[in-house]
Chains A and B, each alone.
Chain A
Amino acid sequence: MRRNALVILGLVVGITLMLWSGVMAYRERRAALMQAPQSVALVPEAGSADTVDAASSDPNSPQAQGLPDMRGKLAPGFSLKTPDGKTVALSDYKGKAVLINFWATWCAPCKLEMPWLIDLQKQYAAQGFTVLGVSEDDPPFEQVGTFAQKMGVNYPVVVANDAVNRAYGNVDGLPTSYYIGRDGKIVAETAGLISKDDIEANIKKILATKG
């Protein structure tokens, strides 16, 4: 009888110790995460296209934002709806240089770069270039169309879905852009607002690629 009582006592102490150590470990992990820096660093606003390209070792690079380095890989294909319900596929632009620009109506830096993208679309469209805006807005999507119209957007705008976000590395911060060469490969990627000059330099690079 006494032996059973000792066994039960041992059992209770053992379970208590096990749970206590588990909870302590859980708390430590939470505390460690609390102290970890949040991913808010950005691509430098000044600098050449080479700076953007060499970003992999930069703490402010898209990779530091948690985006995978997709340069040199084929751009994941997608087929998305425009705010008014038409379907646009990336494959529609085969052989063209494409700037995929993830943005949202609530994103002020995205709104800032929009007039630059409009200018660059005008300037380089004849050479086989297009911007493709991918909106990260929530429904209703009519507001995306209204916003784009109000801004004078002259390039196609589609609405993102989970699949395209996953395919492009779980796009989180906006704006995020991928520059795709005529061969369908990603040449450059940027996270955050960069200067118009840097955007243009990346566009020239993708225009120089061969299909």
Chain B
Amino acid sequence: MQSNVQRKRSGCVGVLFAVFCVAGAGILQAQQSSWQMHDTGLGLHEDEGANKGWVQLESSRQIHVQARRAQTVELQFVIQDGLHINAHQPHSPYLIPTTLTLSAPAGVHVLGVEYPQAKDYRFDFSPKDALSVYTGSLRIAVRLRAQPGAFSLPASLRYQACDNHMCNPPKIFTFTLHGVAQ
């Protein structure tokens, strides 16, 4: 009788194990599918897991600021070699400006965003037409004030990258800054 109970228990454990295996495999598969969907390049959005972007955040996502004081946090981005992205204020209204957007949570106040000086870029085919662009490293300064405590600051960088022959579609790179104000 006791042996039967033990066998039943072992059977239940076995079934549970199988369920866990299937669920685990399902979760991993779902994670990979989600990543692959981002990677198709069909959508405009990318995120920290997408890896398809032409601009990456190089500086830390962890920020430390003094509480209740206006602070400047510098975000450093890297633009892929050989590419340029439009300045925040491009020369033509048709060109897509590089824009950083921050969604400040309660207790955090974004006072302003400062973009660096852009460079003029001329195509070999048309030296007289200049574009105002960023290349290489891009530092954007965010001025903010935060109440004491930890906070998360979701951000997105909209940009449109080209080289001297081809333009890639506009992209929105989303990321989250994790801050502590003391």
Taking beta carbons and an 8 Å cutoff, which residues of A are in contact with B? 3-4, 7-8, 11, 14-15, 18-19, 22-23, 25-26, 29-30, 33-34, 38, 40, 42-43, 45, 65, 104-110, 112, 136, 143, 147, 170, 172-175, 191-195
| A3, B6: Cβ atoms closer than 8 Å | yes
Q: Distance in Å from the Cβ of B104 to the closest Cβ of chain A?
A: 27
Known contacts A14-B17, A19-B24, A33-B51; A38 and B80 CB within 8 A of each other: yes
11 additional A-B residue pairs with CB within 8 Å, beyond A45-B125, A136-B169: A7-B13, A11-B13, A15-B21, A19-B24, A19-B28, A25-B28, A34-B51, A38-B80, A43-B165, A110-B167, A173-B167
Q: How many residues of B contact A (CB 8 A)?
A: 43
Asked whether, in the complex, the Cβ of B21 is within 8 Å of the Cβ of A173, the reply is no
Determine how close the nearest CB of chain A comes to the CB of B80; give it in whole angstroms.
6
Interfacial chain B residues near A65, Cβ < 8 Å: 166
Nearest CB on A from B24, distance (A): 5
A26 / chain B contacts, CB cutoff of 8 Å:
28, 31-32, 35
Separation in Å of the A169 CB from the closest CB of chain B? 12
Question: By CB atoms of chain A within 10 A, which of B6, B16, B83, B167 has the most?
Answer: B167
Contact of A109 among B31, B83, B123 (CB under 8 A): B123
Within 8 A of A (CB), among B25-63: 25, 28, 31-32, 35, 39, 41-42, 49, 51-52, 54
B126 within 8 A of A: yes
Contacts of B96 in A (CB 8 A): 106
* Known contacts A11-B20, A33-B39, A108-B95; A42/B163 CB under 8 A: yes
Cα-based distance from A11 to B51 in the complex (angstroms): 35
- The answer to whether B181 has its CB under 8 Å from any CB of chain A is no
Q: Is the CB of A106 within 8 A of B160?
A: yes
Judged by DSSP, the binding face of A is helix
Give the complex CA separation of A109 and B164 in angstroms.
7
Q: Which residue, of A3, A30, A170, A193, has the highest number of chain B Cβ atoms within 10 A?
A: A193
**A23 proximity list for chain B (CB < 8 A):** 28
Residues of B within 8 A of A29 (CB): 32, 35
**In the complex, which residues 63-110 of chain B have their Cβ closer than 8 Å to any Cβ of chain A?**
80, 82-83, 94-96
**In the complex the two chains form, what is the Cα distance from A14 to B14 in whole Å?**
12
B179 at the interface (CB under 8 A from A): no
Tell me the B residues contacting A by CB distance below 8 Å.
Answer: 6, 9-10, 13, 16-17, 20-21, 24-25, 28, 31-32, 35, 39, 41-42, 49, 51-52, 54, 80, 82-83, 94-96, 123-126, 129, 131, 160, 162-170
In this complex, the member of A8, A22, A106 whose beta carbon has the largest number of chain B beta carbons within 10 angstroms is A106
| CB–CB B123/A108 < 8 A | yes
**How many Å lie between the Cα of A14 and that of B160 in the bound state?**
46
Q: Can you sample 18 A-B contacts with CB below 8 Å?
A: A8-B13, A11-B17, A15-B21, A26-B31, A26-B32, A33-B39, A42-B163, A45-B125, A106-B94, A106-B170, A108-B95, A108-B162, A109-B123, A109-B164, A136-B169, A170-B41, A172-B41, A174-B166
Cβ of A173: which chain B residues have Cβ within 8 Å of it?
166-168
Task: Determine if B6 and A172 form an interchain contact, defined as CB atoms under 8 angstroms apart.
Answer: no
> In the assembled complex, which residues on chain A have CB atoms less than 8 Å from the CB atom of B165?
42-43, 45, 109, 192-194
Residues of chain B with a CB closer than 8 A to A136's CB: 169
